[in-house]
């Protein structure tokens, strides 16, 4: 197994200053440029802009360990003035990794400015610039322009083609070679002008406040799935697997939630994901709590079966060490992992890129929050590539899975169309 080599663009030594500031208001509205970095939920989190360092991570095994080592070297050699010392203060790296370890395109960015808010406190971190009590969190901002004249087109597979892929996956599962595989679709949107990530972020944060609204190197979305949060020794994860659309009224919602909880297919799918997270975290944790039964997480467009997981790490482990142990989960790949990944490569007819890969941030203490890049789109000038995926098990119905994928596209269609 060869060692991953990373291309890094950075000064010899980072000069980092963090100051506590008055509440800046809406974090996303403070972003001055379309090239945004963000991780925001219920108005709290981090946004960043500019680049003090960029790591381009090639395909191959060992990528998380390689990034962690290089960041430890980069942050360890920095001059840091951080009187707050809270998660997300001091130097921070935002990252987004490809789903498939055989794919390139993973990227990690240390921004020149980071604006944070958590628990009633707000701060501004600058790298390589003068900083002090008078530091302004917002620079002169580029004007916002909403996407217009959108046209839509299929991605790698048409709807009938994707249903055939689902049917093929079901046949593979029924032979007993694997228990579950997650198949994704892509969809393209073309706009008249370059798409501004800040517009999409603002719409997503307003519509899906309970999700983690994120942006990193052109990947923008609002994921409901927390892969891992590390705060000192404490870690948290949220397992999501098993989905149904929202109802037409509260009574319909209640009935759909009850059917979801009673669904053998969805409970089976969820159990695979929860068990894998348990097995991945157990060797890293001195204590671990995984609920016996899932609960229902209700979002504006769908409902999921959800299991909150909590643990206490033993030993010195960065959040990236835990990300490496967890990715890919059955919620986005399947089980057994190797066979599911092989089938995904064969049936999806596309490279997912960073869709369904880890996205989030890590600070110099190893604290951080990482989600799975779901309900997202990759922006490239005037074009956006949207993604949606569904867990396929032995009794999955291709038409029902297509309808589920359609529901999951709605979040990003709303972000683009308003």
Could you give the residue numbers annotated as active site?
180, 225
Beta strand 376-380 with 219-223: parallel, antiparallel or unpaired?
antiparallel
Please report the DSSP string for 15-71 in residue order: EEEEEEES--S-TGGG--SSS-EEEEETTEEEEEES-SEEEEEPSSTTHHHHHHHHH
Contact 239, 270 (CB under 8 A): yes
Please report the DSSP string for 343-370 in residue order: HHHHHS-S--TTTTSEEEEEETTS-EEE
Q: What angle do CA 18, 366, 311 make, to 5 degrees?
A: 130
Distance between CA atoms of residues 268 and 255, nearest Å: 20
Determine which helix (DSSP H) or strand (DSSP E) holds 106, and give its type and residue range: strand 106-110
416 CB contacts (<8 Å, ≥6 apart)? 147, 150, 189, 191, 195, 200, 377, 384
Query: Would you call the peptide bond into 328 cis, given omega within 30 degrees of 0 as the criterion?
Result: yes
Q: How far is CA 33 from CA 46, 48, 144, 325, in A?
A: 15, 10, 9, 34
258 CB contacts (<8 Å, ≥6 apart)? none
Q: How far is CA 239 from CA 158, 301, 374, 385, in A?
A: 30, 18, 13, 25
What's the helix, strand, coil split of the chain in %, to 5? Answer: 30, 35, 40
């Amino acid at each position: 197994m060869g060692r991953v080599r990373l291309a890094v663009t950075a000064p010899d030594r980072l000069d980092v200053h963090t100051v506590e500031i008055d509440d800046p208001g809406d974090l996303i509205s403070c972003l001055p440029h379309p090239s945004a970095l963000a991780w925001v939920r219920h108005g709290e989190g981090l946004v960043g802009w500019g680049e003090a360092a960029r790591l381009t991570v090639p395909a191959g095994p060992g990528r998380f360990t390689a990034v962690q080592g290089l960041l430890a070297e980069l942050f360890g050699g920095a001059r840091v003035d951080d009187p707050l010392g809270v998660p997300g203060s001091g130097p921070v790296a935002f990252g987004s990794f490809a789903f498939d370890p055989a794919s390139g395109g993973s990227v990690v960015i240390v921004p020149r400015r980071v604006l944070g808010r958590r628990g009633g406190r707000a701060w501004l971190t600058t790298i390589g610039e003068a900083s002090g009590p008078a530091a302004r969190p917002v620079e002169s901002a580029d004007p916002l322009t909403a996407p217009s004249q959108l046209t839509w087109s299929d991605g790698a597979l048409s709807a009938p083609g994707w249903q055939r892929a689902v049917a093929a996956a079901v046949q593979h599962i029924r032979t007993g070679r694997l228990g579950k595989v997650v198949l994704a679709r892509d969809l393209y949107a073309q706009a008249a002008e370059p798409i501004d990530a800040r517009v999409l972020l603002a719409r997503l944060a307003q519509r899906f406040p309970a999700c983690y609204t994120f942006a990193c190197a052109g990947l923008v979305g609002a994921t409901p799935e927390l892969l891992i949060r590390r705060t000192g020794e404490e870690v948290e994860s949220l397992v999501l697997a098993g989905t149904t659309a929202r109802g037409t009224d509260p009574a319909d919602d209640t009935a759909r939630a009850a059917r979801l909880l009673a669904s053998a297919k969805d409970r089976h799918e969820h159990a695979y994901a929860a068990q894998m997270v348990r097995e991945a975290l157990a060797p890293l944790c001195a204590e671990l709590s995984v609920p016996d039964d899932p609960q229902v997480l209700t979002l504006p467009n769908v409902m999921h079966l959800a299991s909150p997981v909590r643990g206490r790490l033993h030993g010195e482990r960065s959040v990236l060490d835990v990300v490496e142990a967890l990715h890919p989960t059955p919620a986005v790949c399947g089980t057994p992992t190797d066979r599911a990944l092989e089938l995904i490569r064969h049936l999806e007819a596309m490279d997912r890129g960073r869709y369904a890969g880890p996205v989030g941030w890590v600070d110099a203490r190893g604290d951080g929050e990482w989600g799975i890049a779901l309900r997202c789109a990759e922006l490239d000038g005037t074009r956006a590539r949207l993604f949606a995926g569904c867990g396929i098990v032995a009794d999955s119905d291709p038409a029902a899975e297509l309808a589920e994928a359609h529901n999951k596209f709605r979040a990003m269609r709303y972000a683009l169309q308003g």
